C-alpha cells in the first residue's frame, strides 16, 4: 500500500513541477510585399520572372517542366513550379 501512495505522490509532483516551469521563445516574423509574376513575353526556354520584396532571401525557386507536347500544332504545355 505504501508503494501505491509513493507512486501516486511521485506522479502528482511531476505534473506540478512541469506546470511551474516558465520560459519564452524568440520568434521573428518578416512579411514581404506581394510578389509579381511577369510571364507575358516568354519564349519556350525562359522561366517567368518573379520578384518578391526586392530582397535576395525572399526570392522563390522557379522550375519548369514540359507536360504535354503536341507535334501537330507545335504547342507545348509547361508546368511552372514556384517554391518559397
Q: Mean pLDDT for each consecutive 10-residue tract of the chain (84 residues)?
A: 78 60 81 72 69 74 81 81 79
Phi first, then psi: give them for residue 52, nearest 5 degrees.
-125, 105
Phi first, then psi: give them for residue 14, nearest 5 degrees.
-65, -45
The whole model's pTM is what? Answer: 0.42
Helix (H, G, I), strand (E, B) or coil at 49: strand
Answer whether 12's CB lies under 8 Å from 20's CB.
Answer: no
Q: Which residues on neighbouring strands pair with residue 61, listed in sequence order?
A: 83
Q: Where are the domains of the chain?
A: 2-83
CA distance 59 to 84: 7
**Which pLDDT value is given to residue 68?**
80
Please compute Rg for the chain using Cα positions.
29
Beta strands of the chain (E only): which ranges? 35-38, 49-52, 61-70, 75-83
Amino acid at each position: 500500500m505504501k508503494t501505491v501512495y509513493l507512486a501516486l505522490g511521485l506522479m502528482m509532483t511531476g505534473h506540478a513541477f512541469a506546470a511551474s516551469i516558465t520560459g519564452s521563445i524568440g520568434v521573428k516574423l518578416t512579411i514581404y510585399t506581394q510578389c509579381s509574376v511577369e510571364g507575358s513575353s516568354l519564349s519556350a526556354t525562359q522561366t517567368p520572372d518573379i520578384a518578391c520584396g526586392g530582397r535576395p532571401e525572399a526570392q522563390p525557386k522557379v522550375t519548369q517542366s514540359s507536360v504535354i507536347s503536341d507535334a501537330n500544332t507545335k504547342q507545348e504545355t509547361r508546368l511552372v513550379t514556384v517554391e518559397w
